[in-house]
Chains A and B, each alone.
Chain A
Amino acid sequence: MANYHPDTRLLNEYSSGTLPLAQSVCVSLHLNYCDQCRRAHQQLQQLGSALFEEMAPQQVDDSLLRTVMSRLDDEVQPLSYQSTPAADAPPPLIQRLMRGDYEDLGWEKVTSDVRMSRLRTGDIDNEFALYHIRAGASIPRHTHKGTELTLVLEGGFSDEEGHYEVGDFIMRDAEQQHSPTATRDRDCICIGVLDAPIKFTDWKYRVVNPFLKIQPS
């Protein structure tokens, strides 16, 4: 079960629908692994509905009811809207974005131990990417200009502030430096959502920085 969670602001913005698309996907995926946040989200939807009922109703013309009534039968019954939480496989939402399995993706090399694959979410401000870190290896020390959301999908990693396992959700703000290291026993796959590029601070890797320009899509 996850030990690191989205904060109050993120959960409220997620539940109310104000969070950008790529970030919403990341929070939604965390919910797959976390009963506690799923529960909190349900409560926030109840809050949303209570606020909804507090609004001053706006006059709706009778003709609109007639229009809707006349359209009731011409639409086909949609399929069930239920979605099932993941067991062992990657969550359905991420499978959808990957259109296949981890192996089917086009991976770009970042360092000899780190690969990344950008996935298209349609978010025009945030880059959504998968990172694959070889067991025991590190992502070079870096800083962020904006916000970085991370969700662990496989394996685990540690940084200066903690140790993270599958389902854990981490948010790092601008100027927080860190150097995540994957656990030794297995490779780590995680999602990274960025609204501004990360910058490697170690001179050895600075040459890579221009290639990390974010590419939201």
Chain B
Amino acid sequence: MADTVGIDSTGKRDDEWSQCLQLVAHARDREAFARLFGHFAPLIKAFALNGSALAAAHAEELVQEVMIKVWQKASAFNPHKAAASTWIYTIARNCRTDLYRRLQKFDTPINADDIWPEAESDELFAAVQQKREATRIREMLQELPHEQCQILMKVYMEGKSHSEVAEELDLPLGTVKSRVRLAMKKLQLMVER
């Protein structure tokens, strides 16, 4: 598969990752796995380094853990339900959460896979719609004002609560909350009620 970068590159690339995952699932294809590794391992490492000091200190361990899970769970990946990158991101999020709790010596009967159940039914919304939505979110993200995007980055990539973000940016909590709400509106997410 050529490493083409075009105008619609993210969508096409996601098709590529989706194919790789299916090759891993059905043919245990190591070459396809190496391609996934090449793209996602550096992102997972960045995700680890952006997280808590504990996660950052174990960045390479997290990369290993996430990529091995990708290999093991590939057959559970359903290209009609999720984009490949979303699927891999959620594994990274779960592993980072579990890693943190493990290192903090949390004694808990629950792990991250219990907290974020996988999408169950596709009657919720069709595959095509989901794909269109993922593309839209990516595009709109580029147009988001920096002050909103910065907060979302801190919440999602650095794993900070709204209060922690407010403190770090020296903003009132209300301002952080309202910027997030504005971002939800702009991205047309159905979160607001």
Contact = CB atoms under 8 A, between A and B. Distances in A.
Interface of A: 5, 8-9, 11-13, 15-19, 21, 24-25, 28, 31, 35-36, 38-60, 64-65, 67-69, 71-72, 75, 77-78, 80-85, 93, 96-97, 120-124
B63 A55 contact: no
B120 A85 contact: yes
Contact of B68 (A5, A40, A72): A72
Nearest to B64: A68
B106 A17 contact: no
> Binding site of A, secondary structure by majority: helix, strand, loop or mixed?
helix
B15 interface: no
Interface string B114-143: 111111100011000010011001100100
B120 A84 contact: yes
Contacts of B156: 16, 47-48, 51-52
Nearest to B187: A47
Contact of B180 (A12, A58, A78): A12
Interface string B131-169: 001100110010000000000110111011110000000
Contact of B152 (A36, A46, A47, A58): A47
Interface of B: 10, 30, 33-34, 37-38, 41-43, 45-47, 49-50, 59-60, 63-64, 67-68, 71-73, 76, 83, 85-86, 88-90, 92-94, 96-97, 101, 106-110, 112-120, 124-125, 130, 133-134, 137-138, 141, 152-153, 155-157, 159-162, 177, 180-181, 184, 187, 189-193
B72 A77 contact: yes
A32 B49 CA distance: 33
Given A25-B110, A83-B117, A84-B120, A43 B180 contact: no
A46 B109 contact: no
Contacts of A15: 116
Contact of A122 (B85, B107, B162): B107
A8 B189 CA distance: 10
Contacts of A58: 42, 45-46, 49, 59
A37 to B, nearest CB: 9
B153 to A, nearest CB: 6
Contacts of A84: 120
Nearest to A47: B137
Given A28-B116, A39-B125, A45-B86, 8 more contacts: A8-B180, A21-B115, A39-B124, A47-B152, A47-B156, A50-B138, A57-B43, A122-B108
Contacts of B138: 50, 53
19 contacts: A9-B180, A28-B117, A43-B191, A45-B89, A45-B116, A48-B89, A49-B83, A49-B89, A50-B134, A51-B141, A52-B157, A54-B153, A58-B45, A65-B41, A72-B71, A83-B113, A83-B114, A96-B114, A122-B106
B181 to A, nearest CB: 5
Contacts of A9: 162, 177, 180
A84 B112 CA distance: 16
Given A45-B86, A84-B120, A96-B110, A36 B68 contact: no
Contact of A48 (B71, B73, B93, B115): B93
A41 B49 CA distance: 25
B55 to A, nearest CB: 11
A85 B125 CA distance: 17
3 closest A-B pairs by CB: A122-B108, A57-B42, A49-B89
Given A51-B153, A78-B72, A21 B192 contact: no
Contacts of B112: 17
A217 B15 CA distance: 44
